[in-house]
Amino acid sequence: DAKTTQPPSMDCAEGRAANLPCNHSTISGNEYVYWYRQIHSQGPQYIIHGLKNNETNEMASLIITEDRKSSTLILPHATLRDTAVYYCIGSGGYQKVTFGTGTKLQVIP
Amino acid sequence: GAVVSQHPSWVICKSGTSVKIECRSLDFQATTMFWYRQFPKQSLMLMATSNEGSKATYEQGVEKDKFLINHASLTLSTLTVTSAHPEDSSFYICSARDLEGGETQYFGPGTRLLVL
């Protein structure tokens, strides 16, 4: 897995967009950028992944820089239920997924 | 789609007993499943990779004779904690990779184990 760096914590006002950054400068060409989140006392939930292009699904958008050294996960309208630890992971070639410390996002009413 | 279940969701046992945790992929087939352990306020730590029909691959420092893994079918992997001790108390989480869905891993809800 590529080494990733994320801020330990962030706050976001409810209803506003939450932008979670991730640095993955050592990511290799065949490694995807995956985002998962873990709500307290639950298993991780898959959010989104991408290789080079920006991606969007019903949960979030993923913006990957052209050099692929960093990415941003965007939750367009954060709700209190989005409070969780968000993990950015670089993985590819059917490698095992290992977790870093993630970003603890607190959505504030 | 891509639902993974675990059973039981929580278990309390006496020291010295063995505990079996099941991980099932409900709507897809998984040739590879993974087992993680998470202690309070820490991140997930990969314990082992389980491949259907073959022996599991354990991470460094994980005792294979203590944490027995069986992946007998494309939808079921089991983790048995043998001779459990209080220090084995943790949150155990499995994940599965969809055979036809590429590389994405989907996680179960976790099993909380308390050894008294």
The radius of gyration of chain A's CA atoms, rounded to the nearest angstrom, is: 13
Contact B44 A32 (CB under 8 A): no
Residues of A in contact with B107 (CB under 8 A): 36, 43-46
Nearest to A13 by CA among A83, A105, A78: A78
Residues in Cβ contact with B75 at an 8 Å cutoff, skipping those fewer than 6 apart: B24, B25, B26, B29, B30
**Inter-chain contacts counted by CB atoms under 8 A, chains A and B:** 51
Residues of B in contact with A92 (CB under 8 A): 103
pLDDT digits (tens, 9 = 90+) for B14-59: 999 999 999 999 988 888 899 999 999 899 999 999 888 888 999 9
In the sheet that holds B19-25, the strands lie side by side as B4-7, B19-25, B76-81, B67-73
pLDDT at B24: 96
* Disruptive mutation site among B98, B105, B106 for chain A (greatest number of A CBs within 10 Å): B105
Q: Does A96 touch chain B (CB under 8 A)?
A: yes
Q: Does A40 touch chain B (CB under 8 A)?
A: no
**Mean pLDDT computed over every residue of chain B:** 92
pLDDT digits (tens, 9 = 90+) for B59-97: 999 999 999 999 888 899 999 999 999 999 999 999 998
| Higher pLDDT, residue B103 or A15 | A15
Q: Has residue A75 got a pLDDT over 80?
A: yes
Q: Has residue B102 got a pLDDT over 90?
A: no
pLDDT at B72: 82
The radius of gyration of chain B's CA atoms, rounded to the nearest angstrom, is: 13
pLDDT tier at A93, thresholds 50, 70, 90:
low
pLDDT at A50: 93
